[in-house]
Amino acid sequence: MAINLVLLDVDGTLTVDRGNLALDPDAIRVIQRVKDKVKIGLVTGNALIVAEALARYIGLGDDSPIIAENGCIVKVGSTIIRLSNLSAREVVDELIRRLGLRPTYQYQCRYLDITIDVVGDDYGVVGRIKDELRRMGLGDLYDVETSGYAVHVRPRDCGKAKAIAKMCELMGVDCSTVAFIGDSDIDAEAFGVVGLGVAVGNATKRAKEKAKLVTRSPSGKGVAEFLTSLVNET
């Protein structure tokens, strides 16, 4: 299978482990070594401003294609598209007030997918938020998921799968020639859109089930393993 574009999740995928915020140095070294041989972009739950800074600092450059806010925002070159007209901002403000939750450090930088900080049982918090949204009559408008780093509340009409398809359209790239590497339940939905969905070795059960390939190594070292293998095959 010819791969023309590799898309990387960040948290839990480019980091040293799931739940850790430190970028894996092995992954960064391999990315810098192969970026001239294969186009690399980011697909992340992070805010766009954070994703842009990450792309620059890990050596991808300002022209790296980026999907931010779990598929709510697509950036290709100078084109930035928001894939929903609905924001979760006011809803999450109310959820924080009602449930005694707290925002993440990226809260003020986000537009559509709004994040809640979680310490402890994030799946339990997801359940509480879903119940509260139903009581508010908004259960059909928003998806609530955990990335392992935060709980995300986003408009239901956007997501990583839809965003990758839009990115490919903007770039003139066939989705069947794209590989996407991730680690979480949020990434699993997008594996079906690309030619090669790759789960790192310590990914969630759902991500592994949906992936066509699972690396032997975890998180960033799994990224390094895959990219090295890909370039060696071409």
Question: Which residue numbers are catalytic?
Answer: 9
Euclidean distance between the first and the last CA atom of the chain, given in angstroms as a whole number: 10
126 touches 144 (CB < 8 A): yes
CA distance 189 to 136: 27
Q: Answer positive or negative: Cα dihedral of 121, 122, 123, 125.
A: positive
Burial class (CB in 10 A: 0-12, 13-18, 19+), 1: exposed
Question: Which three-class secondary structure state does DSSP give residue 79?
Answer: strand
